[in-house]
Structure 1
Amino acid sequence: MSTIVPSPAWITNPEVFAVNRMTAHSNHAFFAHVPQPGETSDLKQPLDGEWKVAITNAADVNLAYTPFVVEDFDDSAFACINVPGQLETQGLLNPQYVNVQYPWDGHEDLSAPNVPSLNHVAIYRRAFRVNETLARTAAQAGTITMTFHGAACAIYVWVNGQFAGFGEDAFTPSEFDVTALLHDGENTVAVACYEFSSASWLEDQDFWRLHGLFRSVELTAQPHVHIENLQLEADFDHTSGAGTLDAALQIRHAEQACTIAATLTDANDVAVWEGTQPAAAQTTISSEQLHGVAPWSAESPNLYTLTLTLLDTAGTALETAVQRIGFRRFGIENGVMTLNGKRIEFKGVNRHEFDMRLGHTLTEQDMIDDIVFCKRHNINAVRTSHYPNDQRWYDLCDEYGIYLIDETNIETHGSWSLPGDVPTPDTAIPGSKPEWEAACVDRINSMMKRDYNHPSVLIWSLGNESYGGDVFRAMYRHAHELDPRRPVHYEGIVHAREWSDVTDIESRMYAHADEIEEYLKNDPKKPYISCEYMHAMGNSVGNMDEYIALERYEKYQGGFIWDFIDQALLKQDADGTERLCYGGDFDDRPSDYEFSGNGLLFADRTATPKAQEVKQLYANVRITPDETGVTIENRNLFVSTSDFTFVLRMLADGERIWQAERRFDVGPKQTERFAVEWPGAPSGAEVTYEVAQCLAAPTNWAPAGYELCFGQHTVASAAPLAAESATEIPPSDGAITLGRWNAGVKGAGREILLSDPQGGIVSYTFQGCEFVLRHPQITCFRPLTDNDRGAGHGFERAQWMVAGRYAKCVDTRIEQLDAATLKATYTYELATPQRTKVTVAYEASTSGHVHLSVDYPGASGLPTLPAFGIEWMLPVAYSHLRFYGLGPAETYHDRKCGGKLGVWSTSAYADHAPYLVPQETGNHADVRWAEITDEAGHGLRVSRHGEQTFDVSLLPYSSFMIEEATHQEELPAPRHMFLRLLAAQMGVGGDDSWGSPVHEQHQIPADKPLRLDVDLELI
């Protein structure tokens, strides 16, 4: 029985972070017998499910008098809660989102290691019976432990009224020996889970602040003779093709075991090595060279299974340990990170564990879905930002093939940073403060001991955004003592270069591509990664190609996009409806509001349009077709292209006219050209030669035929194609009317009305259907993106918001050009100090066609334009969009590498991407023609008049409606459609969301002319 008396003083004492907690160890499977392949251990008993809980305040909890821990305590008034689960997502506390600042900043003084006076405590209770297998193991002098795999942020644990232990570090296991506390029949566990403790100072990550027992709780029986820790080195020598295996074991009561029998089997359960050795408390088992083993990589995640059986003198199995392994060698050679002898490039993403309903609690299916998304989008690496993940994640990454930076649960950004990231070193935690050292070293130790054996873990990280200090030197030393092979990463010293020795990798956040290039060109001593880049907030990920281009430098080894999934929580309103909410929507203050919406996935785990760009730019195969063949560059390190199918297509004016399949065998890191006998190109058509890499056979993450990447080469037609006409009639069938106020053109069943006082087209009908609700308005504006707001584009370009909306028509000239053609030219002055004149011209013919041109002449002294063209309100029925341009998802001037030229069909509803805050969306670049129709196919066709393409979007909301909304549900039920035809739109940017402008080459200079030049026809 424990004689330790729990103390409330532990909550604010950084030197007390674990009491009675068991030593960290590997998470290998173990059995009290020799298991069958694939068998699940029967020595574990989950305590997940329904628990009882009550919320109180720390001031009301007297740890010297705890009636709630005894077995017969009446908890009938307690609420029910699911474990694993979080208090906030189950309605027991309010969630809070802050980024840098600590949650109580401003409410109370920030003085470490103190915590807020309002410190909620969740009292959990659960009754359970120890199952037969565990009870039998304990009866045979075994041990039963209780493990809390994730608990935020500090827990006191009692079993049957007896104190079991105390633990902090929300994201690594707290395991307690409860053998002596259990009895026959029903047992009771009670937990006091504190919202804040000194540990909160180390857990200031940029995420929702959520609490409770959010990962599984389980009982585990350990046999009397037990492998307590298993540390494996599965090395692979790429020069000889041989692997070696070294297993270091810590064995409890090893004196009662005679031998250890080791068996290594492959994926087909065929033994590739066997060995036996006498058992000792500290034992190392080593294989001979294993020739012919298949190495592990993300490209070929080959796994083997090591089975270790402890045998007594009679040959009876006392315990069997099982661990899957991958043979690989990773390290830094001559300043370059290599895997199995090859320079590696991380095509990575940062990933918070997040679910819109469950918070930081994930199901295994969530994890599989996340990995499938990564594999399908050519993402080969994940940084576990900014804490160790659920242990199941590592098994899945081993199996599917994902490289990991495993990150210690430390972030103290708010302790050393003032607004604007101004460092205050004296207040930095942990800094060089000795009272924090043991806790920080313990955190990296817990992570490394648990995750050591996973081949997917390539790099250890000391944490995130926590400045520098001698504590990090202690952590670095400890990491290399435990693991001399893997590199150690830490970016925080960018602000404190005197501690540069604590990282083996030069790592930066949100450095621009040109800044990174400066480092790479100046004889760098360390390999470079961007541990965070491409801040994917809202409509973003522009100019990503500039970072990918840095791969030409040997020591540039990739980066990790921020981040994987929008952190938005579902909230149920009083009427029962649910809506996605961000910071501040729960009355949480302080808050950083929508800054948690940075995902390549929306919160519901559907892909954002940005993912299209990432998929293409992260592809390991680069395909360059031309008119006589295709060049294939295979950037894979280990696999050839022989197992992939290449689909060849020829498009004429965007429509497929020919398709074939080929196999092209290009070795890893090789480039080859192949001749292709394309069919003859149709006369006068714009021809596109396309080659796509597809899976030839199904995998565990995608079906056969799934497309990984593509290449296109387009040859322009000899002359621009005229718009296809639904009907062609002679001019004599039409009529032109020049009225006092309006001029009209009739013909081919269509009528066009051009108004003098209204300043534009006021009617365009076909078979009695009106297409003009109001004349198209000039637009020089787009709804601000998150990046626009962060970079101050709204302030700098405010005049463009009203320039077109309030433009004044100052001149109208209507003239009949010939018997079949009428032209109306309207001159507008933009609502800017320069009163720049823009002309809008309609040239209407009795064939029913309208040639529309909108001309901006350029003007000096103005900021660059967000966009230029027209916005046109249409009847709500015209919601279908078919276009010939880059698709299928939205594309922008700096984000169109992933856009594929073709004919695409979508709708206004589908094109309105539900970014967390409504913003610019739905744009399609390089469009040749577009059709805006109702369900019957009736509507408007817009075609380029000359060679210049245009941008188009069709949305159920106007730019101003989108600009005004702060949440998607604020947008009303659609009553109209809004068509934008643009000569140009600036890029969306992507370097960061708090100051970096769209790159100059993707902006629209105000002093250069712009022209929207299109033909219109009702169809």
Structure 2
Amino acid sequence: DDITFCKRHNINAIRTSHYPNQEYWYDLCDEYGIYLIDETNMETHGSWVANNIETPETAVPGSKPRWEGACVDRINSMMRRDYNHPSVLIWSLGNESFAGEVFRAMHAHAHAIDPNRPVHYEGSVHDRAFDDVTDIESRMYAHADEIEEYLKSNPKKPYISCEYMHAMGNSVGNMDEYTALERYPQYQGGFIWDFIDQAILDSNGRMCYGGDFGDRPSDYEFSGDGLLFADRTPSPKAQDVKQLYANVHMTVDASGITITNDNLFVSTADSTFVLRILADGKPVWSSSRRFDVAAGTSEHVEIDWPIDDYRAGAQELVLEASQQLTSACDWAPAGYELSFGQCVVAGGKIADTVTAASAASDGAITLGRWNIGARSAGREALFSLAQGGMVSYKLGEREFVLRKPLITTFRALTDNDRGAGHAFERAQWAVAGKYARCVDTKVEPLGETAVSVTYTYELAIAQRTKVTIRYVADVLGHVDLHVAYPGEKDGDLPTIPAFGIEWMLPVEYSNLRFYGVGPEETYADRKHAKLGIWNTNAFRDRAPYLLPQETGNHEDVRWAEITDDSGHGLRVSQTANTETGVTKPFAMSLLPYSSTMLEEALHQDELPEPKHMFLRVLAAQMGVGGDDSWMSPVHEQYQLPADQPLNLDVALDLF
């Protein structure tokens, strides 16, 4: 299973951290083709660092002669056992054990018995006097810009991140900044930490982690840092890893495809390239081709896309190229996709508009003392002057509003959020939207078939920033929803975790079909995914991170349909901003739990049996980060500055 996961996700190298692995694993890597860094059983982190303070004089083994024999014996035993495995590309002296003369002895011994393979050790970065104990510049959790500084310095050694992209919980954001460094020949890549969550399923069905066994002190859920969950099911994070680690990259445009083959040895001759055109997400044309691009080269292949045949009937066309296995292999069937490329070209169809001109004879707009209503043909939208929001949205007897949609300025904290201090810095946003108060309501009839109701809220922050929610409802049951945050320049406010609305729905509306990037969850800094139409549901979209946290978000959504098992439901689609006329995609999620419920739980089994569904429709959400889980913030370009406006513009329809 492990080897299949790696091959299917374009992972081509494993570091056996922090000890030699069982011999069967090396046999599998020999057979399937995985490069290994074989690592000596060595980890003495706690002997020389505590609370981020280094004490080199207490380091073990350091330069202490009494440790030399034991440490040399460890690398000798590993090398004698594994020498004849061709998968072993590099020997490693161990992990996080500082530096010293003992490592010089280990390095010398390794080269004495095997002069051909390089030797790796990261610990010399803590004492550059021992740079000679490693043949590779190796660092842990260096940011991409720091790595690039090294690569630009005409270095004598190749570079490897022996650990990077700390995959704890909802993580692995901004990974493309690292893979982009492959343009430097000295950059040899890195090893994501970690492969799999470490957790134990107890007899009550709880996935247990640190601290659940009476163990104190504990790092608690810090063991949940894998690309696989503890039951070996892939995490949504693996979606980006597969695409970014692909050996063949495709840049698609209206003239064809630029194919870059980063393989060292094989051409693309054995691959099938499946070309498709999607019209507003629906496949309308496909063709299979074969292209022979040699290893280490790039070639532009002209494609006569039949764009004009489909442009008029679509708002946008997606041009797609998919590299697939022509024949089955040991780890995947024929047709398995290795990588893809897409681009979007404008269509010729004007966006659909809903008009009330053909309203049924029973259509009516009601302007009451307490409520404003629009109804016709079994559809009704009701807006309360007293409650300050939409209090009913019905199709026949089906009610879609259990409580008025609330402004949200928060998300359930991720592990990276906690580690970077996002919780402390952004605490005010946890309640700013949830406890916002309505301070004004404006009603504007729009002829006899539509009405506009605008609610103005003050956010629960010191600045009392005003946010407006405007509903434009017609007698056909169509509602335009516009949520506007103007940007707050008074005071030095922290960036906003998320902005939009959170909406409680009846529990039966658990199915989700959407046109956006997917199929797995995506975030602003983690969306190397396919644009298309995807089917999922609220239960599948709740990724079972060891500690419940933000999950299920979908980016670049054009429309989403939330339905029950009979197919009835609510459609949310992008619409034009009333001031700028600009139409842009939105972000959304459908989950059986609210952001607050996820934030409060410490284990997945603490979340109750679902009683409702929670639809969250956002103008934007900050990224998830991934450089590490203890210090590094989400990168600035993936944050939401509080002094900038945010607008959510969507249309609602019942069916």
Report how far residue 722 of structure 1 moved: 2.2
Letter in 2 for 1:771: F
Choose which of 155, 163, 186 in structure 2 pairs with 1:555.
186
Q: Distance in 2 between matches of 1:744 and 1:714?
A: 40
* Cα offset, 1:724, TM superposition: 8.1
How far apart in 2 are the matches of 1:1010 and 1:696? 46
Alpha-carbon distance in structure 2 between the residues aligned to 1:383 and 1:881: 39
Computed over aligned residues only, the root mean square deviation of the Cα atoms, in angstroms, reads: 1.2
Counterpart in 1 of 2:221?
Answer: 594
Please give the per-residue CA displacement for 1:4-58, whole angstroms capped at 9, x wherever unaligned. xxxxxxxxxxxxxxxxxxxxxxxxxxxxxxxxxxxxxxxxxxxxxxxxxxxxxxx
Do structure 1's residue 691 and structure 2's residue 321 form an aligned pair? yes
Q: Does 1:511 align with 2:142?
A: yes
Q: What are the Cα deviations for residues 175-208 of structure 1, in whole angstroms up to 9, with x where unaligned?
A: xxxxxxxxxxxxxxxxxxxxxxxxxxxxxxxxxx
String of CA shifts for 1:311-343, please: whole Å, max 9, x gaps.
Answer: xxxxxxxxxxxxxxxxxxxxxxxxxxxxxxxxx
Distance 1:994 1:981, change over 3 A: same
The answer to whether 1:638 aligns with 2:256 is no
Cα shift readout 1:803-825 (whole Å, capped 9, x = no counterpart): 00110111111221211111110
TM-superposed CA distance for 1:498, in Å, is 1.5
Distance 2:124 2:357 in 1: 71
Q: CA deviation at 1:1008?
A: 0.5
Mapping for residues 376-525 of structure 1, pairs under 5 Å: 376-420=8-52, 422-525=53-156
Tell me what 2:472 maps to: 843
Aligned to 2:585: 949
Matches within 5 A, 1:584-733: 584-679=211-306, 680-683=309-312, 684-718=314-348, 721-722=351-352, 729-730=358-359, 732-733=361-362
- 1:403–1:456 Cα contact (<8 Å) kept: yes
Give the match's secondary structure for 2:380. strand
Measured in 2, the distance between the counterparts of 1:774 and 1:578 equals 33
- Give the Cα–Cα distance (whole angstroms) in 1 for the partners of residues 493 and 224 of structure 2: 32
Structure 1 match to 2:177: 546
CA displacement, residues 503-559 of structure 1 (integer Å, 9 cap, x when unaligned): 010000000000001111112111101000000100000000000111111111111
* C-alpha separation in 2, matches of 1:535 and 1:476: 28
Output the CA distance in 2 between the equivalents of 1:782 and 1:719: 36
Structure 1 residues 705-747: Cα deviation after superposition (integer angstroms, max 9, x where no partner): 000110001013346522689x994365410111111111111
Alignment-mate amino acid for residue 446 of structure 1: S
User: Contact (CA 8 Å) 2:516, 2:557: kept in 1 or not?
Assistant: yes
Gaps of 5+ in 1: 1-368
Q: For 1:889, give the aligned amino acid.
A: E
Q: Which amino acid aligns with 1:811?
A: D
Structure 2, gaps ≥5 residues long: 577-582
Q: Report the 3-state secondary structure (helix = DSSP H, G, I; strand = E; otherwise coil) of the residue aligned with 1:565.
A: coil
- 2:375 matched to 1:375? no
TM-score, structure 1 normalization: 0.63
Residues 723, 602 of structure 1: CA spacing in aligned structure 2 closer, same or farther, 3 A cutoff?
farther
Q: Residue 253 of structure 1 aligns with which residue?
A: none
Quote the Cα distance in structure 1 between the aligned partners of 2:467 and 2:125.
49
Structure 1: distance between partners of 2:463 and 2:171: 32
Answer yes or no: is the 8 Å Cα contact 2:311–2:349 preserved in 1. Answer: no
CA distance in 2, matches of 1:704, 1:391: 30
CA deviations 1:109-159 (Å, max 9, x no partner) are: xxxxxxxxxxxxxxxxxxxxxxxxxxxxxxxxxxxxxxxxxxxxxxxxxxx
Aligned position for 1:739? 368
Superposition map of 1:160-175 within 5 A:
none
- Alignment equivalent of 1:820, drawn from 431, 444, 449: 449
How far apart, CA to CA, are the structure 1 residues paired with 2:74 and 2:353?
A: 66
1:830 paired with 2:434, answer no
Q: Secondary structure at the match of 1:893?
A: coil
Deviations 1:948-1007, CA, capped at 9 Å, x for gaps: 110010000000000001100000000000000000000000000001000000100110
Pairing 1:168-317 to 2, within 5 Å after superposition: none
Could you say what secondary structure the match of 1:649 adopts?
A: strand
Are the equivalent residues in 1 in contact too, given 2:311–2:347 (CA < 8 A)?
Answer: no
Alpha-carbon distance between aligned partners in 2 of 1:1000 and 1:659, rounded to the nearest angstrom: 39
Q: What is the CA–CA distance in structure 2 between the aligned matches of 1:843 and 1:496, rounded to whole Å?
A: 66
User: How far has the Cα of 1:624 moved from its partner?
Assistant: 1.5
SS at match of 1:445: helix
Distance 2:610 2:176 in 1: 36
Give the distance between the partners of 2:401 and 2:202, measured in 1 at CA: 40
Secondary structure at 1:499 match in 2: helix
Residue 782 (1) aligns with residue 419 (2): no
What SS does structure 1 have at the residue aligned with 2:179?
A: helix
Q: Return the alpha-carbon distance in structure 1 between the equivalents of residues 362 and 524 of structure 2.
A: 43
Q: How many residues align?
A: 644
Q: What is the alpha-carbon distance in structure 2 between the residues aligned to residue 889 and residue 717 of structure 1? A: 26
Q: 1:975 aligns with which of 595, 603, 611?
A: 611
Look up the equivalent residue of 2:621 and give its one-letter code: Q
Cα shift at 1:681: 2.4
1:909 aligns to what SS in structure 2? coil
Contact 2:311 2:348 in 1 (8 A): no
2:564 & 2:225 partners in 1: Cα distance? 34
CA 723–950 in structure 1, closer or farther in 2 if over 3 Å, else same: farther
Q: Distance in 1 between matches of 2:233 and 2:632?
A: 28
- Asked if 1 retains the 8 angstrom alpha-carbon contact of 2:172 and 2:624, the reply is yes
Shift of 1:591: 1.2
CA positional deviation for 1:843: 0.5
> Of 885, 890, 894, which aligns to 2:525?
894
Aligned mates of 2:368, 2:50 — CA distance in 1: 67
Assess if the C-alpha contact under 8 Å between 1:423 and 1:495 holds in 2.
no
- 8 Å contact kept, 1:628–1:677: yes
Matches within 5 A, 1:827-976: 827-860=456-489, 861-897=492-528, 899-946=529-576, 947-976=583-612
Secondary structure in structure 2 of the residue aligned to 1:910 = coil
**In the aligned structure 1, how far is the partner of 2:370 from the partner of 2:125?**
68
Greater relative contact order structure (CA < 8 Å, 6+ sep): 2
Inter-partner Cα distance in structure 2 for 1:587 and 1:845: 60
Whether contact under 8 Å (1:836, 1:859) holds in the other structure is yes
> Which residue of 612, 632, 635 corresponds with 1:996?
632
1-structure distance, mates of 2:286, 2:163: 40
SS in 2 for 1:578: coil
Counterparts of 1:839 and 1:642, CA distance in 2: 57
Provide the secondary structure at the position in 1 that maps to 2:488. coil
> Are 1:758 and 2:390 an aligned pair?
no
Runs of 4+ in 1 over 4 A off after TM superposition: none
Q: Distance in 2 between matches of 1:821 and 1:416?
A: 71
Structure 2 CA distance, aligned partners of 1:701 and 1:733? 62
Question: 1-side partners of 2:352 and 2:586: how far apart?
Answer: 15
The percent identity for this pair of structures is: 70
Secondary structure of 2:523's aligned partner: coil
The CA deviation string for residues 414-439 of structure 1, in whole angstroms up to 9 with x for no partner, is 0100112x211111111111121111
- Equivalent pair of 1:944/1:1014 in contact (CA under 8 Å): yes
- Between the aligned partners of 1:1005 and 1:521, the Cα distance in structure 2 is 32
CA contact (8 A) 2:168 2:226 kept: yes
Return the alpha-carbon distance in structure 1 between the equivalents of residues 136 and 447 of structure 2: 73
Distance 1:970 1:720, change over 3 A: farther
